[in-house]
Amino acid sequence: MLRFANSGLIACRGPLFARDDVISRDHWAEYEDDVTRLDAVITDIYINGTDPTLQVRASDGVNWTVELAGHARNREVGLEDANASPGDSVIVWGRQTHHFGETRIKALKIAILDRVFDLFPDQSPPA
């Protein structure tokens, strides 16, 4: 009689995902609690792309990825590609990712030139 080794998913007796994976599904779990202000210049724009982002360069020369809100929220506050151009100054108030070495920030509020977009009013930093 043939016997098969206990391997593969059938033999896996533990959980496939750690409990942390379920908990970290909270949208803000991968970001710091503190709000950071970032003064920068826009280098590239992907507001209407699949993942709305801005690429910016801070005054110290470090490149950052600024994650924006979803398409519906961006449209609701009036944020579109036409509002920004490479070379425009931008101020970002947001939460940095807590992953070591990543220069990524989730924008709560941004100011492009003289126009302010409050992306997450319930999470917004003080003025």
Q: What is the pLDDT of residue 34?
A: 87
Provide mean pLDDT across the span 46-69: 93
Topology at the third CATH level for domain 32-118: OB fold (Dihydrolipoamide Acetyltransferase, E2P) (2.40.50)
pLDDT tens by residue, 89-121 = 999 999 998 888 889 999 999 999 989 999 988
Q: What is the pLDDT of residue 124?
A: 61
pTM: 0.74
Instruction: Give CA–CA dist 3/11, Å, rounded.
Output: 14
Residue of 10 and 41 predicted with greater confidence: 41
Q: What is the pLDDT of residue 62?
A: 95
Provide mean pLDDT across the span 70-87: 91
Instruction: Give CA–CA dist 107/110, Å, rounded.
Output: 7
Q: What is the pLDDT of residue 89?
A: 96
- Scan for tokens 């009689």, then name that residue: 1
Rg over CA atoms, the chain: 20
∠ Cα 79 80 82 (to 5°): 125
Domain boundaries, the chain: 32-118
Which candidate, 49, 45, 50, places its Cα nearest to that of 110? 45
Instruction: Give CA–CA dist 82/68, Å, rounded.
Output: 15
pLDDT tens by residue, 1-37 = 555 555 554 554 544 444 444 444 456 778 778 899 9
DSSP letters, 1-29, are -----S-SGGG--S-SS-HHHHHTTSTTT
- Contact between 74 and 53 (Cβ < 8 Å): no
